[in-house]
Amino acid sequence: MPRTATRSPNLEWTDPDCPVARTLDLVGDKWTLLVIRDAMDGARSFTEFQRRTDIARNILSDRLRKLVGHGLLAQCTAPSGRRQEYVLTDVGRDLFPAILTLRQWGERNTFAPGETHSTLVDEHGARIPEIVPTGADGAPVDALTSHVRTP
């Protein structure tokens, strides 16, 4: 599998020098992130993605084509040989920390105290700990203690 996402000839970067903008150009709409989320949770078939997200078929087709074209998903023949499946590539799996951070932000900021929601757990059933960015010295880093250095 390719290690970096591929760029289609017709993709124009919103801000060519910014990694955030380039990432959003590839995965910045809700349907794309929900497809990635579901692929991480084991969805493989078009039907399964459509059922889990309730996305319109034409939009799902477009998002799957885009994700395959940019190397985040790979398309392969299902074991039955009767349909195509979609599997995450290494590049797609690299989005796990971003999806986890979005999930944890949502848990903190979009649910009322005590409101039920799904929980992400590890292979032993333990809840995944909060992601806290740290600097080289191990101290927590946030928007107030970091800045962007431009070339």
Minimum mean pLDDT range among 15-24, 35-44, 51-60: 15-24
At 7 the pLDDT is 53
At 2 the pLDDT is 44
**Is the pLDDT at 76 greater than 50, yes or no?**
yes
Instruction: Give the C-alpha separation, 148 to 104, whole Å.
Output: 24
Domain residue extents for the chain: 19-93
Strand partners, 127: 121
Q: In the CATH hierarchy, which fold is given to the domain comprising 19-93?
A: Arc Repressor Mutant, subunit A (1.10.10)
At 12 the pLDDT is 85
pTM: 0.86
Minimum mean pLDDT range among 6-10, 20-24, 138-142: 6-10
Pairing of strands 73-77, 84-88: antiparallel
Q: 3-state class of 120 per DSSP?
A: coil
